[in-house]
Structure 1
């Protein structure tokens, strides 16, 4: 069953509203949690996961070295939200593009 163009346009507007709701709280990259072993004899880290967690953020760029930044513990929850919002942003943009392609295939005004 074909979705009416009017409904596609309404869905697109709903998606645009979701973009606005992100309120710029977006950040591209990966948040990494790590544990380190210090190497001191007898330290508890020798038999466990290690000291930590420590958090860092990595962002890869085309034709450039990745950038890594230490993330203080008090910012980790916020960074997780922003990175998650970035993934959501990409999903929303793809959905908008799919709707626009469908309208274009129908030879109707975008």
Structure 2
């Protein structure tokens, strides 16, 4: 890409960024939990289906949060926003890197 086109491309990418307040890092997992005793569903079936958000931290630590069915769509959107934000920032960084390189004469 020609150097004079890069600033326009960066502005266009930056304009497409999702809100930075509605992002979430992690993975959404569908699991079944089983109660140890006193639950007919767990005793006779596969258990209770739940959605869990799991986030991994440096050092291998994990945090898991059980979600209500109403929270699932919101969490999915925030995860999509995070991935879009991360991918767009990578593309902007690549453009900046290209801008720092000497322009090739055609």
1:62-82 per-residue CA deviation (whole Å, 9 max, x = no partner) reads 125111111111010010010
- TM normalised by structure 2 equals 0.80
C-alpha displacement of 1:26: 0.6
- TM normalised by structure 1 equals 0.77
C-alpha displacement of 1:51: 3.8
For residue 88 of structure 2, what is the aligned residue in structure 1?
92
Residues 30 and 51, structure 2, Cα contact 8 Å, conserved in 1: yes
Match of 1:53 among 44, 49, 55: 49
For residue 81 of structure 1, what is the aligned residue in structure 2?
77
For residue 6 of structure 1, what is the aligned residue in structure 2?
4
Q: Which has the higher contact order (CA 8 A, sep 6+)?
A: 2
5+ residue gaps, structure 1: none
5+ residue gaps, structure 2: 35-40
C-alpha displacement of 1:52: 4.0
Cα distance in 1 for residues equivalent to 2:75 and 2:24: 8
- Computed over aligned residues only, the root mean square deviation of the Cα atoms, in angstroms, reads 1.8
Cα distance in 1 for residues equivalent to 2:59 and 2:65: 19
Residues 32 and 47, structure 2, Cα contact 8 Å, conserved in 1: yes
For this pair of structures, how many residues does the alignment match?
A: 96
C-alpha displacement of 1:28: 0.4
